[in-house]
Chain A
Amino acid sequence: MLNQFMQSRLRGLIVLAVILYTIPAFLSNPFHYDLATQMAIIAATVVGLNLLVGFAGQISLGHAGFFGLGAYFTGIMTGNYGWSAIPALVVGGILVGILAWVVGRPILRLKGHYLSMATLAVGFIIAIVINNESQITGGPDGMPVPPFDVFGWELSPFGSYSLFGIELNGSQAWYLFAAAVLLVAVWLAQNLIDSPIGRALRSVHGSEVAARVVGVNTARYKSLVFVISAIYASVMGGLYAHFQGFITPAVASFDFSIVLITMVVLGGMGSTMGVILGAVVLKLLPQVLTHFQEMEAVMFGLILMLTMIFMPKGLLPTLQMAVSKRLKKRAGGQA
């Protein structure tokens, strides 16, 4: 039983790994790698957000704030104070985690969607601070961020590297790295979901009263998962900053928070693989629709609406259900 369980969890991860590492076969130029790397980083952020939305049933409207805070913290620390990237990411993650705890803990004792309002406010405040503290953050014009480094070894999208004797350019190396990060993010999330914490969370999502009755400390679990998802956002924001090499306050904007939520809803709340698909689709959209740029906001709204109406469970879960239904029918017919 346990064995089977382990297998199913690993299976998803292996499928994802295979997909991630066969994608390079279809990418023909550094621009594609560029986009794929961003997709992986954003997907990992959304996997974290999905823990909160899909499992604890809470909505954060300020996740871009945490993402932006992580991005700016790493950018400032590595750029102005000579920190190395890893400690900057870790400390940034911890600080953002503490902030999320301070915000979430009192609010999550309440029932209902008060967290959305609080995160909405926090997100806005973060964006305003980043915009106005131009001595530190460069203000609305943004600031440059040095490349990612580990112990003096630099990973720049413009460098060239060799891995096991294969020559890679910087974009390819970054993609491989980002794909690995995404795998780790998914693995961590899956473990969390299948742990006692995950079960407690799902019970909260199902019925908070029932969960309380059987002795689940709902406030504690909800704040815990909120903190974890904020840390996800912060660390990914930091990586994103290193990859982009230049950040502006747009990374912390309310618009971006909405994009993140849309990815979760579109892909399928509660489905880790689903939200990755959501991130990929929404990240690809602006590039596909370059000729209808002015319609982008309309398209976003339309997609969100249509998913809510026709696929309330999201893209991937709906597809999976349709496929398994058909398979069952076929199996039934044969028998």
Chain B
Amino acid sequence: MLKTFMRRAGKFAAIAAAGLVMSASVQAAEPIKIGSFLSVTGPASFLGDPELKTLQMYVDKINEDGGVLGRQLELIHYDDVGNASSARNFASRLIRSDQVDIIVGGSTTGATMAAVPLVEQAKVPFISLAGAVVITTPVKEWVFKTPQTDRMAAERILTDMKDRGFTKIGLISGTGGFGASGRKQTLDVAKDMGIEIVADETYSGSDTDMTAQLTNIRNTDGVQAVLNFGFGQGPAIVTRNYAQLGIKLPFYQSHGVASDSFLKLAGDSAEGLRLPASPLLVPNALPDSDPQKAVVQNYKSEYEARWDSKVSTFGGYAYDGLMLAVKAIEAAGSTDHAAVREALENIKGYVGVTGEFNMSPEDHNGLDADSFRILEVQNGDWKLID
């Protein structure tokens, strides 16, 4: 009896001692906590899935190379299923319960904006991976973002149109978040650039036929080119209808469909259309003088080797988000929130997958419209135009 007790007590002591030693060693190099909430499943999974894969892959890679400031990175991730309320709850959990040092996440604009009030109050640096211009305009002290804004996409498309001499265009857009915001920005930019929007049509995300809207645009007097701002399957249907109706006007799509899956969905109908996109789609076509070429090629080959799936623009946003976070923490020399935030704001000339980032107190995105490349679909593949 006494013997078993003694043996048990000994065992217990050994375990306790081991535990103490372990916790001591953990304390010596407490990991830097990077929090993330992404839409890995649900309707926006095509954004969240490559984003999460990218984060996991590069956190592992950075840890293998010795971490940041001699500390390991720890990725704490939650899936918001594309729902803004859960995004907010998980942001709350990251900030208050997990007490992360920085947040890189928010696949959609809704998810990002739902978390913004919390982040601003809790004063935690937050790098969003969502597109709309409202995220960083007006500038919010603690919020940064890596994708170009939809406004830049509109600027880039309209500039290309103007260069080709089109001043009267037809617009067709989806009523989803992306399309609605894109439409607003396009109307705005067009006014500034002296381009006239002569037709303005919309379709909802679940529509399966857009010939009515396209016929309206075709029958509008003086229309010289057509732009579609949309996301998901809608733009592919618009493209197919466009070809079926035999419309000969030059056709533009937004960066929302800049992926190989769109080419597959739209098939031959996509021939000749132009869109603004990340150089990630045409890494080998970039001139050697382009500073982004090496970064983009590296990311593409590493991602495809690790996950055995095609790289996507959206994963590139997460790559830049993580690298900006790491750079800022290194520059700040600590994980102090205010110092990291300030370092983020002062990042200049970081060349990422998406473009060259030059942050400033007035610009928490740091990209300019030229980071978009104009691509044209030729023979079922992307061709770099500009």
Contact = CB atoms under 8 A, between A and B. Distances in A.
A38 B92 CA distance: 12
Interface residues of A, number: 30
A293 B82 CA distance: 11
A30 B91 CA distance: 12
* Candidate in A29, A142, A251 with the most chain B CB atoms within 10 angstroms: A142
A141 B134 contact: yes
B117 A144 contact: yes
A246 B84 contact: yes
Interface stretch (B58-66, B108-116, B241-249, B278-286): B108-116
A245 interface: yes
Contact of B114 (A132, A142, A287): A142
Given A141-B181, A144-B113, A246-B114, 17 more contacts: A31-B96, A31-B97, A34-B96, A139-B175, A140-B110, A141-B110, A141-B113, A141-B134, A141-B177, A141-B180, A142-B114, A248-B85, A250-B83, A250-B84, A250-B85, A286-B86, A290-B78
Given A29-B96, A158-B121, A244 B79 contact: no
B175 A132 contact: yes
Contact of B110 (A38, A142, A286, A296): A142
A134 interface: yes
A78 interface: no
B176 interface: yes
A142 B176 CA distance: 11
A197 B116 CA distance: 46
B217 to A, nearest CB: 20
Contacts of B134: 141
A294 B45 CA distance: 11
Contact of A293 (B41, B92, B121): B41
A272 interface: no
A35 interface: yes
B40 interface: yes
A30 B41 CA distance: 27
A131 interface: yes
A107 B144 CA distance: 51
Contacts of B113: 141-142, 144, 246
A105 interface: no
B132 interface: yes
Contacts of A38: 89
Given A141-B181, A246-B117, A30 B85 contact: no
B88 interface: yes
Given A29-B97, A132-B175, A139-B180, A294 B117 contact: no
Nearest to B81: A293
Nearest to A34: B92
B310 interface: no
Interface in B118-146: 118, 121, 132, 134
A29 to B, nearest CB: 5
A32 interface: yes
Main secondary structure of the interface of A (DSSP, over half): helix
21 contacts: A29-B97, A31-B93, A31-B95, A38-B89, A134-B175, A139-B177, A140-B180, A141-B109, A141-B180, A142-B114, A157-B121, A158-B117, A158-B121, A245-B118, A246-B113, A247-B84, A250-B84, A250-B85, A286-B89, A290-B90, A293-B41
Contact of A246 (B116, B121, B132, B180): B116
Interface string A286-301: 1100100110100000
Nearest to B79: A293
B97 A140 contact: no
A293 B40 contact: yes
Nearest to B115: A246
Interface string A34-47: 11001000000000
Given A140-B177, A142-B114, A248-B114, A290 B79 contact: yes
Contacts of A248: 84-85, 110, 114
B96 A30 contact: yes
A89 to B, nearest CB: 19
A140 B96 contact: no
Given A34-B96, A140-B177, A142-B114, A244 B132 contact: no
Nearest to A293: B79
Contacts of A246: 84, 88, 113-114, 116-117
Nearest to B80: A293
* Candidate in A244, A250, A290, A294 with the most chain B CB atoms within 10 angstroms: A250
A141 B132 contact: yes
Nearest to A147: B117
A296 to B, nearest CB: 7
A225 B360 CA distance: 57
Contacts of B81: 293, 296
A38 B116 CA distance: 18
